[in-house]
Structure 1
Amino acid sequence: MIDRLKGPSINNDFDLTIRNLKSAVLSNGIKAYEVNNGTQDIIKIDLVFRSGRVNETKIAASKAAINLLREGSSNKNSQELAYLFDYYGCSIKLSAGIEYSSVSLVCLTRYFDKVWPEWLNMVIEPAYAQEEIDKYKDVYSQKLKHQISKNEVISYRIITEKLFGESHPYGYNTQPEHIYNLTRDDITDYFKNNCKLDNSYLVLSGSYNENIRSAIFDDLGNIHHKSSQTTNPFFNPEPIQGTFKIKTQNDTQTSIKVGCLMVDRHHPDYNKLKFLNTILGGYFGSRLMKNIREDKGYTYGIYSSFDGWQKGGSFYIGADVGNTFIEPTLKEIYKEVNILKNEPVTNPELDMVKNYILGQSLHLIDGPFATAQLVKSLYATSQSIDTFERNVAQVKAITSDDVLEIANKYLHPERFVEVLVGE
């Protein structure tokens, strides 16, 4: 009989090797990565551009250039494209990030011949019709107005601006007027300079046959586009400390952000910092959640985040609290940071966090689409599959002494920036 009083044993001795990944180079030099081991006849095509907000010469142009791709091509207008993709049950996803952008197509393989030519034409020869640009500006400027009325959004925008600087690619904030003032030339210039095939790579995943593979490789390989990519100047932000209070009309709660600058994702300490962040506030069982949510009841949710970009990074703790709990919450935040710096992590907690991170890593390679997403993000940030496997090994090897050392090396509360948005 099963003893229900005992939990199941924990086993982290499982394989986290990425398998069934193949790579190729198209005739025009584009690199392609394939995860062709799906169980259903579905294909996902990701075309990834190594460009994003860091390459803008006009604020908001990168997101507009990507999001407007589906609004018409040299062959079809926006309604015709929408009808075609909807009729054949396709999913189109457009993503414009800080350092890279992507355009994705998911479709049944039996309809590949119907949708692939039009999807490719949409990506290669977008129309950028003025009517669609005007609609985009109206919709997205209104969306942004709504978003930046929220305390939590405002506090995030303020802390990144204070940490990096309002002119830094990681620090400046898009305003509604930036979107509204975009011109067609701003958008087409960004596309011509940054979204050409010589600045891209291809990721195929799912289950597809050789005919589909050949069609994709031949069609893309015969296109010879050259970009003239620009990159915004990066500089080392000047250290800044202090408390910044922003009063808003949403005064029933205050959004707290506390943080500092951190290392980039290529730094040798990156994985140890991710581990430290997980202990502090990176998952539901974290110390901040147990103390400030479960024990004190100051907030419904509190978390910490470590964002490591290619040329910089930031660390911050965030929570929305009632106005009477602002000071007690800040006190407990600093208390937990100081405990990490002064008391070794116990072996049970160390093992718990390791198992959590390894479990999350297992999800990243659970099936062809998840694996393709991992491959996509790794190569977009100048990493490789070896990086993932090396990260797993480093997590398994982390000790309590490592956590203590990293906490004392990087967490200096006297250097933190505090942002309070609300009352």
Structure 2
Amino acid sequence: MDTPPLLASTPLSFVMPHFESAVLSNGTPVYIVPSATKDVLTITFAMRHGACHDDVPGETCLTLEMLKQGTERHTAREFNEEVESRGCWIRCAADHDISTVQVTGLGEWFDDVTDLMADCVLRPRFDAEELDKLRARSVADMMIDLSDVDWLASRAATQGAFTTHPYARPREGTPASLGAITVDNLRKVHRQLLAAPRWIIVAGPVEPQKAVKRLETLFSALQPSGQPQPMPPAVKSRALGIVASNEGALQTSFRIILPGLPMGHPDYAAAQLLTNVLGGFTLARLFTILREEKGYTYGAYASPMVRPLDASIVISTSVGNEFTADTIATIAQEVSRLGSQRIDEDELENARQHIVGSFARSCETPQQTAWLLHTIVNYELPFDYFEQYVRRVQELAPDDLLPVQSTLFSTSSWVVGAAGVTALVESAISPFVGSVSHWDRKGFERP
């Protein structure tokens, strides 16, 4: 494969934008990214409790969604009208590890939006009728997902890679598990959320002392955070294929999970560069071969999936049924090549400049700086982490990458999730894995 011409090369000297920090009287850390010249205000209330802690799969995600469906003072309709009348937006969501409530609006509405945030975080209504409505919508969405080969491949790969670890479970639960969730479950999860370690990040046109004073007024009644519930690190399967069947599918979708490195690892920057070389942008190997040269797909990508308990690299693409066998063979060839052969200078430089350029565009606004801060706090990284990361990305040479290449990129350590016509998919992936099994649909039976 010929190396594309070099992207424009401009060294980036990154310095973490200014922010201020404080601690509320109950020990809650607050980080503020002030910007007098911007109109938009964003406040994030994060809690270190996620779907990994579920007793009933889906209960944390459902609880977060229900925070917006009415409070002690307002019905669901009244609360949404209060939010809309101020031109703001509230997002409540949980992943496997943390839960966040985020409000975005104009800075002039600071007192109002913080009041709305506190209302849904501290005093949710948890109305049984609203729970039934939300549950019905969620189950309907899941039934639609069952015919989506991309969703099926993702579920198959995750189940195969993480087996009995909580990461193997869908964070939203299943139709069966959602049917078992009651208002009592929501109230239990809400208590756990408020007891979990937490932090608040404010970004936008706000005076830091005023922000801290307002947050102290609203949230100081919360008890000091307890210790996070310990969770085991994820141990992934190896050389395994998982097939999710869709006999009417016209395409095969692949989700392939390789080992990755955590953000705090000394070789994390090297892993990012290598992932970018493989499939991180339009000049990357998988994209160039599978789309530009062979015309099998609109896109083929590799991206990091880093979480507190695991780090992985995920390869994803979808191709017509007739291209299934050659696609997995091509991906296997490129993974093996990356794991064993030195990268040339020009290819590395293109991957480097894509990372540097993308990063430069990701820290232009207070909200983007707030996201960097959120990442630092969530992964317990030093506050100069991204300065070190950008510097390291620009220092690495091809020979520096060889030990990481051989460690991460091997078909002997991957898990191949594939969805489509069973016999076609199984025969295609079998030569590249040690064993093949089938996605367990338990819990997804139609109610």
Task: Look up the SS of the partner of 1:39 in the other structure.
Answer: coil
- Give the one of 274, 283, 286 matched to 1:285: 283
Q: Which residue of 2 aligns with 1:155?
A: 153
3-state DSSP of counterpart to 1:360: helix
Query: In structure 2, what is the equivalent of residue 43 of structure 1?
Result: 41
Q: How far 1:362 sits from its partner (Å)?
A: 1.2
Q: Against the structure 1 CA distance between its residues 10 and 38, is the aligned structure 2 distance closer, same or farther, given a 3 Å change threshold?
A: farther
Once the two structures are superposed, residues 171-194 of structure 1 have per-residue CA deviations (whole angstroms, 9 ceiling, x without a partner) of 123322212221111111111012
Q: Which moved more, 1:136-145 or 1:233-242?
A: 233-242
2:303 alignment counterpart: 305
Q: 5+ residue gaps in structure 1?
A: 1-6
Q: Residues 80 and 68 from structure 1, CA distance in 2 versus in 1: closer, same or farther, beyond 3 angstroms?
A: same
Contact preservation (8 Å) 2:256, 2:417 = yes
Letter in 1 for 2:110: F
Count residues with an aligned counterpart: 415
Q: Give the unaligned 5+ runs of structure 2.
A: 422-447
Q: Is the 8 A contact 2:26 2:223 kept in 1?
A: no
SS at match of 1:195: helix
Offset of residue 244 of structure 1: 3.0
**Structure 1 pair 118–332 and aligned structure 2 pair: CA distance change class (3 A):** closer
Tell me which moved more, 227-236 or 33-42.
227-236
SS of match in other structure, 1:70: coil
1:168 maps to: 165
- What pairs with 1:121-132 in structure 2 (closer than 5 Å)? 121-132=119-130
- The RMSD of aligned alpha carbons is 2.2
Q: Contact between 1:163 and 1:261, CA under 8 Å: does it hold in 2?
A: no
1:244–1:420 Cα contact (<8 Å) kept: yes
1:62 paired to 2:60 = yes
**Residue 357 of structure 2 corresponds to residue 359 of structure 1:** yes
Q: Is the 8 A contact 1:27 1:221 kept in 2?
A: no
1: distance between equivalents of 2:412 and 2:207? 59
**Cα distance 1:180–1:405, how it changes in 2: closer, same or farther (>3 A)?**
same
Identity %: 24
Q: Is the 8 A contact 1:169 1:232 kept in 2?
A: no
**Deviation per CA, 1:23-69, whole angstroms, max 9, x where unpaired?**
11112211111110242333211111112112222210111111111
1:202 aligns to what?
Answer: 200
- Which residue is 2:426 aligned to? none
Separation in 2 of the partners of 1:257 and 1:355? 26
3-state SS of 1:71 partner: coil
Q: Distance in 2 between matches of 1:178 and 1:32?
A: 36
- Stretch moving more, 174-183 or 199-208: 174-183
2-structure distance, mates of 1:144, 1:232: 30
Offset of 1:353 from its aligned partner?
1.2
Matches within 5 A, 1:127-142: 127-142=125-140
Contact 1:259 1:314 in 2 (8 A): yes
Stretch moving more, 62-71 or 41-50: 41-50
Against the structure 1 CA distance between its residues 340 and 208, is the aligned structure 2 distance closer, same or farther, given a 3 Å change threshold?
Answer: same
Structure 1 residues 96, 272: CA separation in 2 closer, same or farther (over 3 Å shift)?
A: same
In the TM superposition, residue 9 of structure 1 has moved relative to its aligned partner by 8.5
Correspondences of 1:17-36 after superposition (within 5 Å): 17-36=15-34
Q: Contact conserved, 1:162 with 1:240, CA < 8 A, in 2?
A: no
Superposition TM-score, scaled by structure 1 size: 0.91
Deviation, structure 1 residue 79: 0.8
Question: 209, 222, 225: which one pairs with 1:224?
Answer: 222
Aligned-partner SS, 1:385: coil
- Change in Cα spacing, 1:225 to 1:22, as seen in structure 2 (3 Å) is same
Deviation of 1:147 after TM superposition, in Å, equals: 2.0
Mean Cα displacement is larger for which, 54-63 or 80-89? 54-63
1:238 deviation in Å? 6.0
**Structure 2: distance between partners of 1:354 and 1:8:** 10
Q: Does residue 1:322 correspond to 2:332, yes or no? A: no
1:177 aligns with 2:176: yes
Aligned mates of 1:265, 1:156 — CA distance in 2: 23
CA distance in 1, matches of 2:237, 2:8: 43
Is the 8 Å Cα contact of residues 304 and 318 (structure 1) preserved in structure 2?
Answer: yes
CA contact (8 A) 2:160 2:242 kept: no
> How far apart, in 1, do the equivalents of 2:231 and 2:212 lie?
40
The separation in 1 between residues aligned to 2:132 and 2:122, in whole angstroms, is 21
Matching residue's letter, 2:167: Y
* Mean CA deviation greater in 116-125 or 217-226: 217-226
Instruction: Describe the superposition over 1:234-284 as per-residue Cα deviations: whole angstroms up to 9, x where unpaired.
Output: 255363423333321442111123333444333333221121111101122
Q: Could you list the per-position Cα deviations for residues 353-402 of structure 1 after superposition, in whole angstroms to 9, with x for gaps in the alignment?
A: 11111112112211111111221122122224222122112211211012
How has the CA–CA distance of structure 1 residues 330 and 354 changed in structure 2, closer, same or farther, with 3 Å as cutoff?
Answer: same
2:27 touches 2:224 (CA, 8 Å); kept in 1? no
Aligned to 2:106: 108
Letter in 2 for 1:60: G
Amino acid at match of 2:165: H
Give the structure 2 partner of residue 3 of structure 1: none
One-letter identity of the residue aligned with 1:169:
P
Which amino acid is 2:292 matched to?
E
How far residue 229 of structure 1 moved from its aligned partner, in angstroms, is 6.6
Q: Secondary structure at the match of 2:232?
A: coil
2:263 corresponds to: 265
